């Protein structure tokens, strides 16, 4: 019988070989994938007769647009309307930050 030789960690304990591999990182979600998600949402909206969906700063905003934003007293959102451009809504002073963080291009509406 052949013994399996495993490397030792600093404390002298044996470490299984699979623990020595770097962790796997999933590939980034592409803009194309996010556009497909939005297209499926729009198709479902049309089927259900929904004119618009407002996506607030939640995990849904990240899922559909790639925009990661924490909820606060200032609304940051995306407005989805079938057949219309994606519209982001944010305070004017956050426009540069939000505009640089979106994963799917769209129009911007700002407020003061």
> Domains of the chain: which residue ranges?
51-112
Return mean pLDDT, the chain: 88
- Give the whole-number percent of the chain exceeding pLDDT 70: 80
What is the distance between the alpha carbons of residues 29 and 62, in angstroms, rounded to a whole number?
A: 10
Residue 38 neighbours by CB under 8 Å, 6+ apart:
64, 65, 80, 86, 104
Cα distances (Å, whole numbers) of residue 4 to 15, 20, 37, 40: 11, 15, 47, 50
pLDDT score of 2: 53
Q: What is the pTM of this model?
A: 0.76
- In CATH, what class is 51-112? alpha beta
Span 84-108, pLDDT tens digits? 999 999 999 999 999 999 999 999 9
């Amino acid at each position: 019988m052949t013994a399996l030789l495993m490397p030792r960690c600093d404390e002298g304990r044996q470490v299984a070989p699979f623990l020595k591999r770097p962790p796997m990182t999933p590939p980034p979600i592409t803009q194309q994938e996010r556009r497909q998600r939005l297209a499926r949402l729009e198709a479902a909206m049309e089927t259900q007769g929904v004119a618009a969906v407002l996506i607030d700063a939640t995990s849904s905003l990240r899922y559909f647009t790639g925009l990661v934003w924490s909820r606060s007293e200032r609304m940051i959102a995306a407005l989805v309307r079938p057949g219309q451009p994606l519209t982001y809504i944010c305070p004017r002073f956050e426009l540069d930050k939000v505009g640089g963080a979106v994963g799917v291009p769209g129009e911007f509406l700002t407020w003061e």
